[in-house]
Amino acid sequence: MEILSFIANNWQVILRLAGEHISIVAVAVGLAILTGVPIGIAITQNRRVADAVLYVASIIVTIPSIALFGLMIPILSKIGQGIGWLPAVIAILLYSQLPIVRNTYTAITNVDPALREAAIGMGMTPFQRLTRLEIPIAIPVIMAGVRTAVVMNIGVAAIAAYIGAGGLGVLIARGISQTDPRQLITGALAVSLLAIVADWALLRLQKRLTPAGLKR
């Protein structure tokens, strides 16, 4: 009851924090798509490079987020951005690389070799093959990677409240420091809800982007 009245009295604040939260994740994952998809495609050319890149991406994910924020403070302080929005975005950008790069790489390498042979035999250039055949076929798997990245990093973004990035993590952090269960629970609920809604929305998007011929 207390929590409901807290939400009712503070919904404007909660919405603002949710907006901040979304902006961090959206910008970071958006940039991660712009970098991760081309990387995933590029590494299909060379098996050893692919293994190395995926290995590095895996290692990045194993770094605890709080440690990663700590590492970035001295580096980004040099441009006056040691804490706040930028390090949060960079951390999420890095964490998102693994699911996006790996899914892109897997999807492209798994395109049926017969399709590739047909495409080459018909006289498609490598670029035409990529844009007309391989990427459309890879879209569902790439989108699945994006979903993983978004859901995973909505959680990471909550921790970014500790470096002053804002977002729903602010409620959790305050709840802990002020021993206020209302804020703590509201923050946690909002983060979970955001993750669920984002996953659902992206699933819808994934289905829309999947070429009709590939739908079951």
Binding site for other proteins (CB under 8 A): 112, 114-115, 117-125, 128, 132-133, 136-137, 211-214
Tell me the C-alpha distance between 216 and 205, whole Å. Answer: 16
Q: Which is nearer to other proteins, 9 or 128 (CB)?
A: 128
Q: Which of 121, 113, 115 is nearest to 133 (CA)?
A: 115
Specify whether the CB–CB gap between 193 and 209 falls below 8 A: no
Q: Which is nearer to other proteins, 8 or 212 (CB)?
A: 212
Kindly give the residue spans of alpha helices, DSSP state H, lying in the chain.
2-42, 47-62, 65-77, 85-109, 113-121, 126-129, 135-159, 169-177, 181-209
Q: Which is nearer to other proteins, 60 or 133 (CB)?
A: 133
Q: Quote the DSSP letter at residue 110.
A: T
Q: Which is nearer to other proteins, 80 or 113 (CB)?
A: 113
Cβ atoms < 10 Å from Cβ of 102: 21
